[in-house]
Amino acid sequence: MNNAYICDAVRTPIGRYGGGLSTVRTDDLAALPIKALMERNPNVDWSKLDDVIYGCANQAGEDNRNVARMALLLAGIDVQVPGATLNRLCASSLDAVGTAARAIKSGEVDLMIAGGVESMSRAPFVMGKAESAYSRAAKIEDTTIGWRFINPKMKAAFGVDSMPETAENVADDFKISRADQDAFALRSQQRAAKSIADGVFKEEIIPVSVPQRKGDPVVVDTDEHPRATTPEALAKLKGVVRPDGSVTAGNASGVNDGSCAVLLASDEAVKKYGLTPGRASWGWLWLAWRHASWVSVQFRPCVKCWKKPA
Ligand SMILES: CC(=O)SCCNC(=O)CCNC(=O)[C@H](O)C(C)(C)COP(=O)(O)OP(=O)(O)OC[C@H]1O[C@@H](n2cnc3c(N)ncnc32)[C@H](O)[C@@H]1OP(=O)(O)O
């Protein structure tokens, strides 16, 4: 089997819901890291790129149809380069990278971009069509996160819990205390703050210039979700799922906007374009768990597999 190397990786900052990146169209947001890869790797003949695979979980708004293809065209890559969008919900971009690596390892292709985009801020409201003639029924669904257009059979068989509800289920089943969740959240916040202060993300973040209604554009160059906090402040927060619950705004993941792209190459492409190869030859597999919406539990073994050399 051939080697697949990660040769470059970039991302936008991660914007808060309604934050600095919320006015950037999702397809434009998706194009930014591809454009950055092109600028950072001028020796590559981008017309020879084999494919662009992007993960995207929403696809109901400006990311509809095939946002990978729209992103590569908006970034200025030649029209003959194809693109495909893949959905494994929260793990979509990771799956895009894996799919690209597998294609290179199989020997079918040499040069791929894989990445993803999500704009929670710009996720639209959607409305289904009427079920019968003259129906006046209209139901608007919010596509930001969670289930919509629920199939009753699905609900009855597996449940349709949201992510915070899923987190409560996991905490109950695995006996993860509120204190442990808060401690994990605090450590995560502290690590993020230190990494930002030390400039750890500078190499991978592309500053995004966001036009304003008046005045100069605002440059967004720092992740917006991390915030300074204390154990006491975290402990005071109320449960978001139920009042006595353990999942809070402080220990839950956030609702964010951002995009990323990774350049993957074979030995031949590395040599041809003078790329700097990163990790070679890795593999993983996906595992499903007992509950349809238990993505958190599903994801954990995947990360282990991701780290394990093939
Ligand atoms: C494919 C996919 O990606 S699926 C999506 C997976 N992700 C999810 O499901 C996201 C889950 N998270 C959420 O839905 C939301 O973040 C929620 C519901 C948990 C919280 O949302 P919000 O209520 O909008 O959070 P918000 O940031 O406003 O915080 C609420 C309060 O907690 C406080 N707070 C939040 N974090 C902290 C913290 N670390 N320390 C102290 N206080 C905090 C805020 O200051 C705010 O206080 P205020 O009301 O007095 O102003």
In whole angstroms, what is the distance from residue 227 CA to residue 223 CA?
A: 10
In a domain, 137, yes or no: no
Spatial contact of 12 and 258, defined as CB atoms under 8 Å apart = yes
In whole angstroms, what is the distance from residue 209 CA to residue 216 CA?
A: 9
In whole angstroms, what is the distance from residue 201 CA to residue 83 CA?
A: 27
Which value does ipTM take for this structure? 0.94
Give the tens place of pLDDT for each residue, 206-226. Answer: 999 999 999 999 999 999 999
Instruction: Determine whether the shortest distance from the Cβ of 234 to ligand 1 is under 6 A.
Output: yes
Cα 253 to ligand 1 centre (Å): 7
In a domain, 143, yes or no: no
In a domain, 138, yes or no: no
Cα 249 to ligand 1 centre (Å): 3
Which residue's alpha carbon is nearest to atom 6 within ligand 1? Answer: 163
Cα 242 to ligand 1 centre (Å): 14
In a domain, 294, yes or no: yes
69 phi and psi angles, rounded to 5 deg: -70, -40
Give the tens place of pLDDT for each residue, 245-282. Answer: 999 999 999 999 999 999 999 999 999 999 998 865 55
Token output for 248: 């809070």
Here the CATH number for the domain that contains residue 27 is: 3.40.47.10
Mutate to test the pocket of ligand 1, among 86, 240, 247, 257 (most ligand atoms within 8 A of CB): 240
What was the pLDDT predicted at 287?
54
Which residue's alpha carbon is nearest to atom 27 within ligand 1? Answer: 249
Give the tens place of pLDDT for each residue, 43-78. Answer: 999 999 999 999 999 999 999 999 999 999 999 999
Which residue's alpha carbon is nearest to atom 36 within ligand 1? Answer: 250
Which residue's alpha carbon is nearest to atom 15 within ligand 1? Answer: 254
In a domain, 142, yes or no: no
Instruction: Determine whether the shortest distance from the Cβ of 253 to ligand 1 is under 6 A.
Output: yes
Which residue's alpha carbon is nearest to atom 50 within ligand 1? Answer: 237
Which residue's alpha carbon is nearest to atom 17 within ligand 1? Answer: 249
Cα 118 to ligand 1 centre (Å): 17
Instruction: Determine whether the shortest distance from the Cβ of 73 to ligand 1 is under 6 A.
Output: no
What was the pLDDT predicted at 299?
43
Range of the domain at 86: 5-126+151-305
Cα 67 to ligand 1 centre (Å): 28
Which residue's alpha carbon is nearest to atom 23 within ligand 1? Answer: 249
Residue type, 21: L
What was the pLDDT predicted at 300?
41
| Closest atom of ligand 1 to CA, residue 229 | 40
In whole angstroms, what is the distance from residue 32 CA to residue 12 CA?
A: 8
Give the tens place of pLDDT for each residue, 111-167. Answer: 999 999 999 999 999 999 998 999 999 999 999 988 999 999 988 888 888 889 988
Nearest residue to 255 via CA among 147, 167, 144 = 144
In a domain, 226, yes or no: yes
Q: Evaluate if residue 307 carries a pLDDT over 60.
A: no
In a domain, 140, yes or no: no
Write down the pTM of the prediction. Answer: 0.91
Cα 260 to ligand 1 centre (Å): 23
Cα 252 to ligand 1 centre (Å): 7
Spatial contact of 166 and 295, defined as CB atoms under 8 Å apart = yes
Give the tens place of pLDDT for each residue, 169-184. Answer: 889 988 999 999 999 9
- Which helix (H) or strand (E) covers residue 86, if one does? strand 83-86
What is the residue-averaged pLDDT of the chain?
A: 90
Q: How many domains does the chain have?
A: 1
In whole angstroms, what is the distance from residue 158 CA to residue 140 CA?
A: 24
Instruction: Determine whether the shortest distance from the Cβ of 240 to ligand 1 is under 6 A.
Output: yes
In whole angstroms, what is the distance from residue 33 CA to residue 96 CA?
A: 15
In a domain, 85, yes or no: yes
What was the pLDDT predicted at 90?
87
Instruction: Determine whether the shortest distance from the Cβ of 83 to ligand 1 is under 6 A.
Output: no
